[in-house]
């Protein structure tokens, strides 16, 4: 249960003065539901006012605070605003302008010849200077407090002042929490206490150390939670799957190529883990085309050799089908049964088939099951699941990872694979509970993909070049961007492009046959998607027009040209993934990035980076800097715990430290029972990593 000291923070916003249903709705749009949300809602910037004695032209456009004396009221009319002319100490005049206020109001608030402190933004209107809707205070009021005003991220109908007041009330309820950071760490960085840090971050005074501290707090909470998950998993008794080499040795002999050094090393690391009783938790990172699938197969065969079953979880149906095809072919000579189960099997009237498959699975007649999340549905029962492999891990969060392991009687070994090179800082924050292996070597004989950038107004040239490519027997992808907020839009954009290109290539080949143009997008029926992919893989179509559904894992070596439309709308990591679809054979491949007409400097810099490098890690670092972790990990919409204070830059600086400190704390005080341990429990609750605390209790 949450420590009572935190209760005031986790109260609903309605606990604050004057917060009714209308305001609750507005706050909800900003995801501010509880007092703690308000306290953590940091200002986007601060408006700085200049306190002056005299007003002059040079101050136009700036917020100022000045003592003025009203000299004339002009109450306006139905179409013109109320104007109060006022002069400064030197006799320079300007107008204070109010819409929707009466003369009576002006006479009471701004009586003639009585100085007032006026604060607001100085504008020019025609020949005269004016301030609209200024703050009015007594002349003796010091301007100091009002000189720096935090500006909060707002929503329609909720003025900054109102929100600032609410935030102020939330901050007034901040409890004094016992310190969870080691005193030496605090001293070394000159960090304030938690409460002081939060206040400073809102006041935007000394906010750099304050925000660093808050980010560190958040990262520390996250690291503690991940380490608790890790410790809990490790402590559970799993099953050693040492293998005996009878399947893997045969496979190695029949492979048409030798394993790369990196593959051999990684397989050994995985087998080392699987030979232990404590469940493996390993993340395998390897750039696109590095040969992760084969590594997974070796791991799965090792499980099968040991009498267990293995499951391979793919992020899309297309990939699941492709894995089935590839693995069935590679493992053709082995005495094992591989099957696939996807969400559609049920719908496609394959109920009988599906039931048979489930029977076989439950009886242990299937050794390796491949599929989408369907392979973990309730009615899917394994005979003896020993290993779970997750392909393209970045689509799955920590919580999902934990769920996966519930299908087995004893906790299974877990191997997660990702083609997204993950910068170390992100690896720690998102996969901190796992060990990591890197496939840092591509199979031999690959030629690096050449990347070019072209403006979309050269579309005709592009189509002509594409026509030559296709006429020469080459294959190509054409990727259309997702249309923001509208799947129908994606479909329409891709369908439109496909129709246009179909028209362009009718009657193109030497034999007079038109070049086939395939189409794949997210709204198609799975069977149609598969058919389109199969046609392309078998070269029955030369061109595949697609949305990003082909992003991960698709492998058609004869496709050597990738065209990405509106490339500036994609994340760098995503572009890198797309580019990885080509350059899979020995032929030279080209990736053509089509860009819109007007680009920001950042967008230009990003496309330039794509042209300059094929290094996935460099690209990922840059993407992290420019777009944040959610983009790289694909978790922006997935509900994975978001970070409130730990922005990418701070994360990069602080996460390793948070990781080490969390480890140290748990080494010394595994049950978080000491005074500092209790403080750390507060921290876990504060950042809603309480799943970690639950493990503490059960462990």
Position among 289, 397, 421, 518 found at the interface with ligand ADP (CB under 6 A): 289
Let me know: does 251 contact 334? Beta carbons within 8 Å: yes
Position among 99, 105, 125, 257 found at the interface with ligand ADP (CB under 6 A): 257
> CA quadruple 313, 318, 324, 326: dihedral positive or negative?
negative
Find all residues with CB under 8 Å of 459, minimum gap 6, and list them. 594
Catalogue the E-assigned strands of 247-299: 281-286
Residues in contact with ligand ADP, shown as a per-residue x/- string from 553 to 592 under the rule CB under 6 A: x-x----------------------------x--------
Q: Is 248 in the site for ligand ADP (CB under 6 A)?
A: no
Given Mg ion, ligand ADP, none, residue 260, with its beta carbon under 5 to 8 Å by kind, binds ligand ADP
Of 547-606, binders to Mg ion (CB under 5 A) are 553
Given ligand ADP, Mg ion, none, residue 291, with its beta carbon under 5 to 8 Å by kind, binds ligand ADP
Position among 130, 248, 260, 420 found at the interface with ligand ADP (CB under 6 A): 260
> CA quadruple 464, 469, 471, 474: dihedral positive or negative?
negative
Find all residues with CB under 8 Å of 204, minimum gap 6, and list them. 43, 45, 46, 148, 150
Position among 263, 393, 574, 577 found at the interface with ligand ADP (CB under 6 A): 263
Phi, psi torsion values for 677, nearest 5 degrees = -60, -40
Position among 443, 514, 628, 630 found at the interface with ligand ADP (CB under 6 A): 443
Least distance (Å) from Mg ion to the CB of residue 625? 26
Cα dist. 5→20, 32, 198, 214 in Å? 25, 21, 17, 19
Q: Tokens 């403006």 appear where?
A: 455
Pick from 65, 73, 69, 85: nearest CA to 125: 85
Position among 35, 86, 229, 419 found at the interface with ligand ADP (CB under 6 A): 419
Q: Is 292 in the site for ligand ADP (CB under 6 A)?
A: yes
Least distance (Å) from Mg ion to the CB of residue 550? 12
Residue nearest to ligand ADP (CB): 291
Of 518-557, binders to Mg ion (CB under 5 A) are 553
Nearer to ligand ADP, 263 or 316 (CB): 263
Position among 82, 215, 294, 388 found at the interface with ligand ADP (CB under 6 A): 294
- Count of residues that bind ligand ADP according to CB under 6 A: 17
Least distance (Å) from ligand ADP to the CB of residue 412? 21
Least distance (Å) from Mg ion to the CB of residue 245? 25
Nearer to Mg ion, 551 or 568 (CB): 551
Q: Is 421 in the site for Mg ion (CB under 5 A)?
A: no
Let me know: does 583 contact 385? Beta carbons within 8 Å: no
Given Mg ion, ligand ADP, none, residue 443, with its beta carbon under 5 to 8 Å by kind, binds ligand ADP
Residue 678: how many other CB atoms lie within 10 Å: 15
Angle of the 675-686 helix axis to the 207-235 helix axis, nearest 10: 100
SS3 category, 545: strand
Give the pair of three-digit tokens for residue 336. 């094992």
Buried b (16+ CB within 10 A) or exposed e, 474-508: bbbbbbbbbbeeeeeebbebbbebbeebbebbeeb
Catalogue the E-assigned strands of 410-542: 413-418, 435-439, 450-455, 475-479, 517-520
Q: Which residues bind ligand ADP (CB under 6 A)?
A: 257, 259-260, 263, 286, 288-294, 419, 443, 553, 555, 584
Q: Which residues bind Mg ion (CB under 5 A)?
A: 553
């Amino acid at each position: 249960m949450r420590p009572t000291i935190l209760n005031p923070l986790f109260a609903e916003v309605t606990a604050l003065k004057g917060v009714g249903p209308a305001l609750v709705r507005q706050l909800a749009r900003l995801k501010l539901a509880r007092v703690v949300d308000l306290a953590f809602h940091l200002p986007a910037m601060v408006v700085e006012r200049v306190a002056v004695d005299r007003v002059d032209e040079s101050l136009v456009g700036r917020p100022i605070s000045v003592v003025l004396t009203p000299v004339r009221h002009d109450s306006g009319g139905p179409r013109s605003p109320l104007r109060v002319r006022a002069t400064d100490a030197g006799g320079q005049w300007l107008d204070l302008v109010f819409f929707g206020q009466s003369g009576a109001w002006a006479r009471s608030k701004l009586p003639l010849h009585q100085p007032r402190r006026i604060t607001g933004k100085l504008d020019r209107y025609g020949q005269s200077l004016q301030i609209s809707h200024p703050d009015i205070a007594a002349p003796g009021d010091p301007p100091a407090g009002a000189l720096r005003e935090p500006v909060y991220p707002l929503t329609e109908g909720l003025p900054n002042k109102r929100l600032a007041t609410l935030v102020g009330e939330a901050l007034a309820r901040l409890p004094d929490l016992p310190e969870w950071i080691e005193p030496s760490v605090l001293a070394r960085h000159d960090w304030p206490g938690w409460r002081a840090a939060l206040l400073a971050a809102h006041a935007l005074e000394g906010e750099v150390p304050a925000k660093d501290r808050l980010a560190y707090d958040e990262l520390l909470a996250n690291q503690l939670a991940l380490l608790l998950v890790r410790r809990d998993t490790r402590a559970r008794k799993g099953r050693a799957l040492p293998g005996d080499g009878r399947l893997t040795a045969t496979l190695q002999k029949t492979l048409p190529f030798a394993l790369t050094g990196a593959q051999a090393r990684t397989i050994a690391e995985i087998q080392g883990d699987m030979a232990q009783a404590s469940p493996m938790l390993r993340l395998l990172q390897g750039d696109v085309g590095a040969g992760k699938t084969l590594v997974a197969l070796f791991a799965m065969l090792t499980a099968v050799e040991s009498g267990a079953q293995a499951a391979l979880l793919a992020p899309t149906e297309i990939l699941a089908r492709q894995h089935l095809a590839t693995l069935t072919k590679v493992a053709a000579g082995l005495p094992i049964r591989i099957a696939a189960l996807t969400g559609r099997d049920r719908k496609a009237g394959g109920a009988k088939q599906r039931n048979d498959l489930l029977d076989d699975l439950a009886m242990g007649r299937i050794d390796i099951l491949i599929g989408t999340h369907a392979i973990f549905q309730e009615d899917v029962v394994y005979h003896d699941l020993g290993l779970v492999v997750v392909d393209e891990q970045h689509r799955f969060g920590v919580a999902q990872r934990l769920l996966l392991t519930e299908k087995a009687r004893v906790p299974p070994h877990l191997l997660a694979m990702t083609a997204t090179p993950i910068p170390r800082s992100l690896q720690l924050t998102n996969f901190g509970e796992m060990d990591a292996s890197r496939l840092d070597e591509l199979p031999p004989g690959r030629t690096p993909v050449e990347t070019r950038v072209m403006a979309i107004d050269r579309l005709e040239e592009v189509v002509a070049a594409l026509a030559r490519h296709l006429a020469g027997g080459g294959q190509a992808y054409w990727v259309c961007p997702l249309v923001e907020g509208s799947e129908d839009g994606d479909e329409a954009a891709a369908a439109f492009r496909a129709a246009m290109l179909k028209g362009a290539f009718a009657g193109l080949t030497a034999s007079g046959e038109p070049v086939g143009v395939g189409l794949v997008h997210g709204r198609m029926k799975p069977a149609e998607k598969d058919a389109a992919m199969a046609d392309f893989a078998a070269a029955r179509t030369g061109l595949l027009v697609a949305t990003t559904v082909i992003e991960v894992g698709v492998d058609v070596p004869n496709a050597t040209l990738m065209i990405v439309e509106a490339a500036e709308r994609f994340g760098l990591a995503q572009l890198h993934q797309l580019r990885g679809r080509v350059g899979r054979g020995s032929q030279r491949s080209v990736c053509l990035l089509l860009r819109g007409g007007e680009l920001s400097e950042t967008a230009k810099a990003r496309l330039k980076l794509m042209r300059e490098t094929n290094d996935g890690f460099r690209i990922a670092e840059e993407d992290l800097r420019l777009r944040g972790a959610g983009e790289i990990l694909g978790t922006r919409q997935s509900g994975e715990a978001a970070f409130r204070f730990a922005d990418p830059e701070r994360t990069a600086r602080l996460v390793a430290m948070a990781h080490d400190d969390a480890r140290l704390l748990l080494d010394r005080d595994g049950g978080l029972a000491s005074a500092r341990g209790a403080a750390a429990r507060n921290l876990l609750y504060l950042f809603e990593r309480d799943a970690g605390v639950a493990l503490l209790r059960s462990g």
